[in-house]
Structure formats: structure tokens, C-alpha cells
Amino acid sequence: MKKLVESSGVEVAFEEVDVVTTGTFGAMCSSGAIINVGHSDPPIKIQRAWINDVEVCHPGAAVDLFIGATNMSETKPFEYGGGHVIEDLIRGKEVELRATAYGTDCYPRTRIETTLTKDDLNQFYLLNFRNCYQRYNCATNSRDEILHTYMGKLLPRFGNATFSGAGELNPLVNDPDYETIGIGTRILLGGAQGYVIGEGTQHSPGKQLGTLSVRGDAKKMSADYIRGATFTKYGTTLYVGVGIPIPVLNEGIAGKAAVRNEDVFTDIVDYGIPRRDRPTLGRVSYKELRSGKIAIEDKDVKVSSLSSLRKAEDIAGTLKSWVEDARFYLTLPVETLPTDSAAQPMKQTKEIAFVENVVQEAVTCNEDEEIRAVANRIISRSVNHVIVVDRENKLKGIVTSWDITKAIAEDKSRLSDIVTRRVVTATLSEPLDSASRTMAQHNISALPVINKDGKVLGIATSEDISKLRGGARND
């Protein structure tokens, strides 16, 4: 379609092409599976359940369970989770079910352990409430430390960038006005036939952030198109393959389906800022993203994809062959999806604390000062940390009372010999939870607070955070 429109125009393409097939394959965390395990003898009304040590939700009646893709194993967290359970079941593997209950007159059993395969389940269907994201942010990291996110590992100081999505091949990019995609649209889901059952959560088509809710029979699916996965130090997920046929009903659809990667844009977002509204550093096209390098603040940055374009192309090709072989029939939606909705932020009725609520004036020194002079400052100011700055008050390092004590014991006199130069920092707008986690991860008790230019604004200590939280508990 795309080449035909470019070579011969929209009118010719509309006359010659009946259907455009699309595809995408990537991590879709808002995914899961409904299973019914059947009644035991004596019967049990399940209260809590685990499959392969992954806790699963009990959302309804006695033996209905929901396997969430992001739930992690209690024995192998960050290695195995609900997405892997779903993949194992699709592959026909045997899984271990463990369940407990409080017991009732009609469901007297309080515990059960057994093994199951998909053939033992009454129902096993994928029920994904946000899939097929129209586009994703391009993620990068301005901080001085590695971040582990749902956009993968982000290296310090814009050391890399990541993105996801199939760009010009994505279904919602090819039908952005939802003329052919709606409730009841038949799709390829996980290598089998499935259906769109509504708009996905956080559906925001006006911002080109549309999503879909989808359902399909997982017993018929293939592990070629459904994969459990792990993002290092973030959590587990499920890679899902989705393909949607778009019937070319008019010239308008033909023109939209001719979209190219250079026409599909997304934001470059700084994930180094731990807030909902992260700074946008620029706009970039999927053509630029596919090149492997983008510009961020006049710096060439390597960029890589978290999704598989080759698999997306395979899905679109498979769907095409199904349609051509009359193994897949197109359906018009029984109801259209909203085109004017927008995701709203969470209503928060209680404020949380930020670093700005605990920041204190920092005791500073210059690198050319004597160690004994800094030691006297630690004593006179009753502090454990002194921040090393230059003449412009920019951060150069940090020394602690332990560093000073050790240096004096070893008869050292030059401060430059004991300064810690790789300093973990915070910003005023950083949540205290994030700052506390950073301290725990690095086994430190204070964070210099800096601005975007690296100038020292103060210091936040674990002691000050504990005082604030203690006061909050006593209110």
C-alpha cells in the first residue's frame, strides 16, 4: 500500500488494494489470562492461589483465577512471573497450582496442591486491558546513575535511549480515526484469532496514544507470538503479538494506511526525573529512531528498540496469508471506539513529601583545603558530610566524617586524596521515597541536592528524612 500510494497515488491504491494488514510485537504489561481450574473434591472456594510460586488473583467465584503478566514469583522475583506462567501454559507445560481457603459449609476444603496443563483447564483465554499502544515515549536518563525501568536499562548522562512500537506498521497508526477498528473487530492475537473488546485503559487518541482491550482463546495460541519476559531490576511482563486487518473502504483510509515512519513522531522523555510529568527533551520520528542514533541536547545518543520489528512484519505477513487463504474473515466493528477521550491523572487527597521538604544548608569546602580545616568544620557544624565544590559552587565531590577520621589516622593532609568524586545526588522535586531508595541502594546516608547545572543547593540526609516521617506518623 505505502509504495503504491507513493508511486501511483491514493486513487489507484484505493482501486487496487482491498485490505492492509498490520502488526506489532512488544512488551504489553497490562495483559493477563483468565483460567477456570474446575471444582475439586471436596470443593474449595479459593481465597489465595499461586501458580509456579506466582501469586494469581482470585477475582470472582470459587475456581476462577486471573494470571497478571507482571506478578512476580515469590521464589524467583525479577526472573519469573505471570507472563512466563502464561507462556508455559501455552507451550503445553505442566504448572503447579497451590491454593488456600477459609472453608465454608458448601466449600469445606481449605488447601489444595496439584499440577495442571492447559488441557486440564475449562477456560484459558487472554484478557488484555491495554495492548497495541499507538506509540511509546523515547526514554533517556539525565541522572548520574543507571536507571532500570519498563523502558529497559537507561545509562547515565544520556548514555543511551530506548523506544518501542512498530511505527508505520502499528495498527492504530494505520487507522488513527478508528474507522475499521472497534468492538468486535477480529484480529490476530498471540498467533490465533481474537477480538477487540473495547478501548484500552488510558486510551488517549487525541494525543496519538490510543490503546485496545483484546481477548482471545489462549489454548489456540502459539508461543511464537506470546513470550514471558523480564526487565532487569524492574519486573516481569508479557510480549504480545497483535495483527489487525484494515479494510480499505474509502480513499481516506487508503491515504492513512500509506503512513511512513518519517510521519510518526514521539517525545524524547527524561526518565531521570522521578515524577509523573517528566521533561520532554525533543521530538523524534520513528525513521530517526530506526537509524540507531538520535540527537539529545546536541549529543549523538545510541537508541535501541525494545520491541521486534521483524516479528511485527511476520505477524502482518501471517495475517495476510490467512486472509488470502480464506482462513480469516474480516468483521466490521459492532460499536466504534471513542476518539475524544483522554487519560486523567490520579486524584490524590494526601500530599507526599519531596526532597525540598527536608533539604538543609550544605557545609561545603574547596578541594585545596587542608584536611584538618575540614575536620574542624565537621566538629563545629556537627555534621557528617561536607560537600566539595568549585568556585561556582558546582559539585566536585563529597567527604564524610569517616573519610576525615581515617585520613588523619593515616597522616594524610591533602583533601584531594580522599574525596569521593562519583557522587549520587538528588533534586529538590524528587519524592522522598525515591531519595530513600537511592540511599539504600548505594548504602549511603546523605545526598547532595543540585540543580540542572550541577550547582549545590543543599543536602538531604537519612536523619532528616526519618525526622520528617516520624513527625508525620505522630500527627
CATH code assigned at 375:
3.10.580.10
At 472 the pLDDT is: 53
Copy the grid coordinates of residue 205: 487518541
The yes-or-no verdict on residue 219 having pLDDT over 90 is yes
The radius of gyration of the chain's CA atoms, rounded to the nearest angstrom, is 28
At 471 the pLDDT is: 58
Between CA 24 and CA 240 the distance in angstroms is 8
Do residues 223 and 294 both lie within one domain?
yes
Copy the grid coordinates of residue 376: 574542624
Segment 268-282 shows an average pLDDT of 95
Segment 70-81 shows an average pLDDT of 97
Last residue of a domain, one of 98, 121, 144: 121
Last residue of a domain, one of 81, 97, 121: 121
Do residues 208 and 282 both lie within one domain?
yes
At 452 the pLDDT is: 87
Residue 72 lies in a domain: yes
At 282 the pLDDT is: 96
Do residues 423 and 466 both lie within one domain?
yes
> For cell 486491558, what's the residue?
129
Between CA 28 and CA 432 the distance in angstroms is 29
Residue 412: how many CB atoms within 10 A of its CB? 15
| Domains identified in the chain, total number | 3
Between CA 386 and CA 7 the distance in angstroms is 67
Q: Which long-range contacts (CB under 8 A, 24 or more apart) does 252-257 make?
A: 252/179, 253/175, 253/179, 253/180, 254/1, 254/5, 254/10, 254/13, 254/14, 254/17, 255/5, 255/10, 256/174, 256/175, 256/176, 256/177, 257/1, 257/2, 257/20, 257/174, 257/175
Segment 357-378 shows an average pLDDT of 92
The yes-or-no verdict on residue 473 having pLDDT over 70 is no
Do residues 197 and 324 both lie within one domain?
yes
Spatial CB neighbours of 194, under 8 Å, sequence gap ≥ 6? 126, 186, 187, 188, 214, 215, 216, 217
Residue 241 lies in a domain: yes
- Is 177 in a helix, a strand, or coil? coil
At 346 the pLDDT is: 94
Closest residue by Cα to residue 415 from 391, 394, 387: 387
Do residues 51 and 22 both lie within one domain?
no
Segment 341-349 shows an average pLDDT of 93
Query: How far is residue 253 CA from its own chain's centroid?
Result: 31
Do residues 159 and 287 both lie within one domain?
yes
Segment 217-234 shows an average pLDDT of 97
Spatial CB neighbours of 426, under 8 Å, sequence gap ≥ 6? 355, 434, 435, 438, 447, 448, 449, 450, 460
pLDDT band at 59 (very low <50, low <70, confident <90, very high): confident
Closest residue by Cα to residue 163 from 256, 261, 64, 257: 261
The yes-or-no verdict on residue 12 having pLDDT over 50 is yes
Residue 350 lies in a domain: no
Q: What's the distance, Cα to Cα, between the start and end of the chain in Å?
A: 65
Do residues 214 and 117 both lie within one domain?
no
Residue 457 lies in a domain: yes
Do residues 265 and 216 both lie within one domain?
yes
The yes-or-no verdict on residue 94 having pLDDT over 80 is yes
Spatial CB neighbours of 275, under 8 Å, sequence gap ≥ 6? 429, 431
Do residues 214 and 326 both lie within one domain?
yes
Closest residue by Cα to residue 285 from 99, 387, 138, 143: 138
At 469 the pLDDT is: 75
pLDDT band at 474 (very low <50, low <70, confident <90, very high): very low
pLDDT band at 412 (very low <50, low <70, confident <90, very high): confident
The yes-or-no verdict on residue 309 having pLDDT over 80 is yes
Do residues 400 and 277 both lie within one domain?
no
* Active-site residue set: 106
- Pairing status of strand 280-285 against strand 265-270: antiparallel
The yes-or-no verdict on residue 286 having pLDDT over 90 is yes
Q: How far is CA 108 from CA 59, 111, 454, in A?
A: 20, 10, 64
Residue 342 lies in a domain: no
Residue 292 lies in a domain: yes
Residue 140 lies in a domain: yes
Residue 348 lies in a domain: no
Q: Can you point out the beta strands (E) in 360-431?
A: 364-365, 385-389, 395-400
Is the CB of residue 401 less than 8 Å from the CB of residue 423? no
At 1 the pLDDT is: 76
pLDDT digit string, tens, across residues 418-471: 999 999 999 999 999 999 999 998 999 999 999 989 999 999 999 988 888 765
DSSP 208: T
Do residues 44 and 18 both lie within one domain?
no
Segment 108-112 shows an average pLDDT of 97
Q: How far is CA 333 from CA 19, 179, 198, 324, 328, in A?
A: 15, 9, 10, 21, 15
Domain hosting residue 109, numbered range: 38-121
The residue ranking higher by pLDDT, 9 or 281, is 281
Query: ω before 42 within 30° of 0 (cis)?
Result: yes
At 171 the pLDDT is: 97
Is the CB of residue 228 less than 8 Å from the CB of residue 212? no
Last residue of a domain, one of 336, 369, 399: 336
Rounded to 5°, the CA angle 101-107-109 comes to 55
Do residues 155 and 267 both lie within one domain?
yes
Segment 46-73 shows an average pLDDT of 96
